[in-house]
Structures are given as C-alpha cells and as structure tokens.
Structure 1
Amino acid sequence: MSALIQHTEPAPTRLPPDWSGIGGCALPVAADAATVLLDSHALVLAGTGPLDAEVDFTEHLCAPGTALWVRPGQAVRFGEPPGDTATIVFRSGLFGPEELPDLAPDDPSGPGARPLSVPHPESLRTAFGNLTADADGPPGPVAAALLRHQLAAVLLRLRLAEPAVDPAGHVEGRTFERFQRRLEEGYPHTRRVEDYAAELGCSVRTLTRASLALTGRTAKQVVDDRVALQARRLLAATPLSVAEVGRILGFGEPTNFGRFFHRETGLSPGQFRGRYATGPDGIPGQRRPTD
C-alpha cells in the first residue's frame, strides 16, 4: 500500500480481521457510496447479474461470474450488486514477493486489474464461500493458516486465468516491472526518469524502450501518469486541499501543481474536484501529455 494513504481520512471500507488479515463480505465498500480509497485488497466475484464498478476512474461492467481484483489505495465505487456477489478482503504483506509462483500479490499491475473471465466460476464461488465461512469461525493460528492457504489457492487460480504474456517481450517486461516497483516508492519524491534509471542501473533509453513495449507510453509519460493518478485519487476521495495534495506529491508551489495537473487532465484541480462531485459526465479522460 502506498505510504501516501496515511495522509488521508480513514475510508469507510470493510477491513479484514486483525487475527488473520483475511475476511469475506459482499462488497468492500457500500454500494452507491461516494468514491473512497481502498485500504486493503479486495477480490470481487460478480454474481448472477452484472456488477458496475469504477476503479481509478475507469468504469467496468463486470459480467456474471467474472472476477475483479482491487488493490489498496485505489479509488473505488460500486453500484448496487447482485445478491450473490462475493468479496474476499485481505491486507497487504501476507505473502512475500517470491512466495507464490509468478505472482506478487502486492504488485499493483498483477492479474485481475480488469474484469477477468474465470473458468468454472462456480468452483471459485465455492472457494470464496468456504473462505468466508472459515473467516467467520473461531480465531486462532490454525484457522489463520487455513485461511492463508485458501487465499493462496484463489490467487493462483486467478493467475492461471490471466492471458499468457508474449515471451518476446520478456526482457522488457522484467525491466518495466522493476521500474514500476521503484516508481511506486519514488513518485512523491521525483518525476525525473534519470533518477529511476540510475537507481535501476540502466539507461533512460532502456526504460523508455521497455515502457513503450509494455504500455505504448514513454518512461516520462509513465511517471507523470502515476503522479496524475494519485492526484486524482486524493482530489476525488479525500478532503485534502489542492495545496496539500500538491505538497504530498512533491510540488513546492500550488501553481506548479496546478500547471502539471491541467497538462495531464485538461482541467485545473478545482475544476476536476467540482466536476467529479457534481458533473453528470463522470471523470474526464486523461489527456495524452507531450513528452
């Protein structure tokens, strides 16, 4: 979870119990509630009807039987779910980065970031139900270990359902993954691609080539996209002032933050916050910045 969440008001989200760090619920936030920043992982399995979900200002209509993995710190809002929608919530840090094969649960770019069609969704629904029932049972170390194994099985099932990655981009993929991990720690402090390249021991050209191969965006655009996303999260889901949001993101002057935000979104921070709160057209799309 991003350290920046500590600067925000507590979000009214469903938290897993402290004794296991894993629990179950219908949705992680109340249906039709205002957008909030999620403070735990949430695996949402749509029921027999479609589920409307907005994650980081992108609308998703989750078809029946599909899964969506929402990460800590993401801005989320849900419509009224079908009655049999199920959610597993779990805290960060339950699994080490190499503990599950080809899967780091705390990686924000992991599987299920978009609605994911899962083979045999009824089997996954049964797994969700068993985990939720066990989480509601008597607490203890044996029960906590059981929940952890059940969660690992669910996560690996989602990983298997994710489309295979083209091995031709394997080298660029590894470079971009390292870049993303470092960016999650460093974006409040620096927006210079040269700084990230130096920390990763590669050139700016290497980072740009990897970024273009994986996202179609330059490394500089990837950095600016991440800063702009966090700005939108904080403006939409917290009472922080525009100046406070700018300071959190490393802008010494509100005017500098305002110019950056307008360049990235086409709106001033105040316009974005007002339009997000009252406008019928939803979140404005992010304008592609010039490099």
Structure 2
Amino acid sequence: MENGHHAVRQLRYWPAVGSPHGVEVLDFAALRSMDTQRRRVLPQRPDFHVLALTAAGVGTIEADFLAYRLAEGSVVWIRPGMVHRWSDIDACEGPLILFRPGFLPGFTTAEATAPACWQLDQQRLELALLAAEHLGREHDSAARSPHVASPALLSHLLAALLLRALPDAPARTDPAPAGNRSADVFRAYRAAVEEHFTDWHHVADYARALGYDVRTLTRATRAATGTGAKAFLDQRILLEARRLLAHTDLPVAGCARRLGFRDVGNFTTFFRRQAAMPPAAWRTAYGAAGTRDA
C-alpha cells in the first residue's frame, strides 16, 4: 500500500477477458493456480467484493483481525476495503464470485450487517451452490456470446445467490426495496461516512451535508444495522485506526493525523474509549498475536 501501508497489498478489480460486466466467477482451485507465489497468505485489501462458498475441505481466513475456520458450508463475504488474508485454503473447494461495488446497490444494508463469515446447513449449502452454478453458467455464456440482457441477468442471479446464502435475519439482510426512504437515507449516510470519516467525526456534519437532521440519520442507521449513527461512525473510524496500527509503521501521532484528529491526545482518548486500551498497547498486542500465529 501507499502512504505507509507497507504491509498490505491493494487489490484492484481487473476483469478477466470475457468478464466485462462487473462480476466474475471462479473457484478456490483457480485462485490457487493463479497465485503460485502464495501471496494470498499475506494481508491484502480489495476494492471489490469477494463471496466464497466452501463446498468441501477445511481452511482458515483472517478478516479485519478476526480468524475464521472454514469447513463445508462456510460462506465468506469480503467487502471492499476489508483487510484479509487466506491463511490456509489449500484443501478448500467451491466457487468464488468477485463483483464491483454498486453492482447490487440494493444490498447496501446486507453489506453493513452480514458478518465476514458464517455457516450454512447442508440443504441451504446445496441450494446456494446451485445458485452459484447457474450464475457461473450465465457468466460463461455472456463471455462467449455477449447479449444486451447479460448484465441484468448476471445481476439478478447474483442477487438470488446472495439471498440464498445470507444468514437468517430477514428484517436486516433482505435487499431494501426501491423507494424505501429509511434504506435510502442509510445508503446515503453510509456512502458519506466512507468518503469523509477521516475528516468528519460528528453526525451533525453528515446531517448538514445530506440535508437530514441527526435524528433521521440515527433512526435510519439503527433500522439498517441495529446501532445508532454515531456508533456506526465511531466503529468505522476505529476499524481504520486498527488497520493503520496493525499494517503500517506510522507512529501513533501519524495515525491520528491520517484519521483527522487534531492531536494525538484526542485520538488516544477516542481509541481507548472504543477499544478499551490505548493505541500503542493495541499495536503491541496485535503484533505479539501475529508473531504467535506465524
């Protein structure tokens, strides 16, 4: 990475030949064959989504400081910007779907609420694998014989796969219907947070920019994620702080400046309040854990 992110590889979405529609279908075996140098085991940060279904085998993945054990039925959803590493997928089999942000705009709420990894029972796994196979076949057909309807077909099939694979929480994970004002408000707030969280640390800043009041943003965010607008913003800042501390050699003061804090004292107070320890201690603890895992 640039600007101090020396330990994390930035992954850009470069569609393969025949995959011009913002989605690509491959599998664990293809990932291994393309990565003969095993760079997948090092921290990386994509600017696209990766949805993986484990049809067989066992393995491990680490995503934003949490380790997940993969087994038959495991689903992994890596969102754009998520720092992760495929610690061990040598024995894993199953499909991987890569897609651009915005390819399924109606799934903004699901992106915010679904975990990075969860488990499907056998029946749901079989149905999800069928949905992934259908998407893969349509993807191959679109690559061979592009059609004006190909993007819409791929988008609908990907939506069907996600609906089939998402964890059970219908009120929180179903795609928001068009015209749902609360979902639209949250979608706008989430996009603004992603763009401005290093500069704007108060919900009122976003309310003014978006033309809503703070209570409206809070209600919409709580409806979508189960937490308020301020907590949502603070967690986004905290996540980036952890990424900087773990994956760069920036001093704590440099991390504070990168995140828009006026001085290191304010940053330390914020981090201690959110993480229950000061940033330097968290960096030391994470480094020690990484040494033990190595």
Q: TM-score, normalised by structure 2?
A: 0.70
Which of 168, 174, 194 lines up with 2:204 in the alignment? Answer: 194
- Spell out, residue by residue over 1:117-144, the C-alpha distance to the aligned partner (whole angstroms, 9 max, x if none): 3451331453476588789x88xx9499
Tell me the secondary structure at the aligned position of residue 244 of structure 1.
helix
1:190-246 per-residue CA deviation (whole Å, 9 max, x = no partner) reads 111111122232222333334444444332222111100111122223344433322
The answer on whether the counterparts of 1:25 and 1:87 sit within 8 Å (CA) in structure 2 is yes
Pick the aligned partner of 1:218 from 215, 220, 228: 228
* Counterpart code for 2:289: G
- Give the aligned residue type for 1:115: W
> Is the Cα contact below 8 Å between 2:203 and 2:214 reproduced in 1?
yes
In the alignment, what sits opposite 1:109? 112
Label 1:202 to 1:145 Cα distance change in 2 as closer, same or farther (>3 A). closer
| Residue 25 of structure 1: how far off its partner (Å) | 4.8
Counterpart residue number, 1:164: 170
- Within 2, Cα distance between the matches of 1:265 and 1:111? 21
1:36 aligns with 2:44: yes
Alignment of 1:80 with 2:63, yes or no, is no
Give the C-alpha shift of residue 164 in structure 1. Answer: 2.2
Residue number among 261, 266, 271 corresponding to 2:271 in the alignment: 261
Q: Distance between the aligned counterparts of 1:131 and 1:52, measured in 2?
A: 30
Q: Taking structure 1 as reference, are residues 215 and 278 closer, same or farther at Cα in structure 2, changes over 3 Å only?
A: same
Matches within 5 A, 1:1-291: 7=3, 8-9=5-6, 11=9, 16-17=14-15, 20=20, 22-23=23-24, 24-26=26-28, 30=38, 33-81=41-89, 82-92=91-101, 95=103, 97=105, 102-103=106-107, 108-109=111-112, 113-115=116-118, 117=120, 118=124, 120-127=127-134, 130=137, 142=146, 149-150=153-154, 153-162=157-166, 163-165=169-171, 172-279=182-289
* RMSD of aligned alpha carbons: 4.1
Contact residue 112 and residue 225 of structure 2 kept, 8 A:
no
Q: C-alpha deviations, 1:134-168, integer Å up to 9, x for none?
A: 89x88xx949996885465234321354442279x
CA distance in 2, matches of 1:14, 1:250: 26
Deviation at residue 74 of structure 1 after TM alignment: 0.5
Deviations 1:24-62 (A, max 9, x none): 352598588243323432111113134433322334344
Which whole-Å CA distance do the structure 2 matches of 1:144 and 1:278 have between them?
A: 53
1:285 is matched with none
Amino acid at match of 1:223: L
**Cα distance 1:205–1:133, how it changes in 2: closer, same or farther (>3 A)?**
closer
- Kept in 2, the 8 Å contact 1:234–1:245? The answer is yes
Give the alignment's TM-score, normalised by structure 1.
0.71
1:232-261 alpha-carbon deviations (Å, 9 max, x no partner): 122223344433322221123233222222
Where does structure 2 lack aligned partners over 5 or more consecutive residues? Answer: none
1:64 deviation in Å?
1.6
Q: What is the rounded CA distance, in whole Å, between the counterparts of 2:206 and 2:150 in structure 1?
A: 40
Question: Partners of 2:76 and 2:56 in 1: how far apart?
Answer: 15
Q: Structure 2 CA distance, aligned partners of 1:174 and 1:254?
A: 36
SS at match of 2:41: coil
Offset at residue 180 of structure 1 (A): 1.8
**Are 1:11 and 1:36, in contact at CA under 8 Å, matched by a contact in 2?**
yes
Unaligned runs of 5+ in 1: 283-291
